[in-house]
């Protein structure tokens, strides 16, 4: 026995599926970020580069090139997506860094 599907049902289903695609993409990004280990300032490489989880707490005497505008979220090495609190970093493979973090490898995002 065949069941008729109305045009309205098809359109509603299509709209619902279309609305789910971006949400699934966001979940995939969050899942990828969740697979990364948060970078610790005590990590030897992080320590060597003066990594801090909060850029506003970086000692400008120790790191004279640091400015308040320099944060992981504005760094060319940051791999996170807009709106995410954390993301990967090209310098620290396998780790995530917070958007408000900083290290001396910071470079302006183009
Ligand atoms: S390289 Fe950039 S994104 Fe990575 S920790 Fe340093 S400032 Fe943050």
Measured CA to CA, the distance from residue 65 to residue 14 in angstroms comes to: 52
**How many CA atoms, within 13 angstroms, populate the side-chain half-sphere of residue 19?**
6
Q: Is 75 in the pocket of ligand 1 (CB under 6 A)?
A: yes
Q: Is 73 in the pocket of ligand 1 (CB under 6 A)?
A: no
Q: Is 74 in the pocket of ligand 1 (CB under 6 A)?
A: no
How much is the CA Rg of the chain, to the nearest whole Å? 21
pLDDT at 15: 47
What tens digit of pLDDT does each residue of 2-48 get? 566 666 654 565 544 444 444 444 444 454 556 899 999 999 999 99
pLDDT at 66: 97
pLDDT at 68: 94
Task: Specify the fold of 7-98.
Answer: High-Potential Iron-Sulfur Protein; Chain A (4.10.490)
| Alpha carbon of 103 to ligand 1 centroid (Å) | 5
């Amino acid at each position: 026995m065949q069941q008729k599907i109305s045009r309205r049902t098809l359109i509603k289903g299509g709209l619902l599926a279309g609305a789910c695609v971006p949400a699934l993409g966001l979940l995939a990004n969050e899942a990828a970020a969740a697979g990364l280990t948060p970078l610790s300032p005590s990590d030897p490489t992080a320590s060597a580069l003066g990594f801090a989880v909060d850029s506003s707490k970086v000692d400008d005497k120790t790191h004279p090139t640091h400015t308040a505008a320099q944060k992981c979220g504005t760094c060319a090495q940051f791999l996170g997506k807009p709106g995410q609190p954390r993301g990967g970093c090209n310098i620290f493979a396998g780790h995530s860094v917070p958007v408000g973090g900083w290290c001396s490898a910071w470079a302006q995002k183009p």
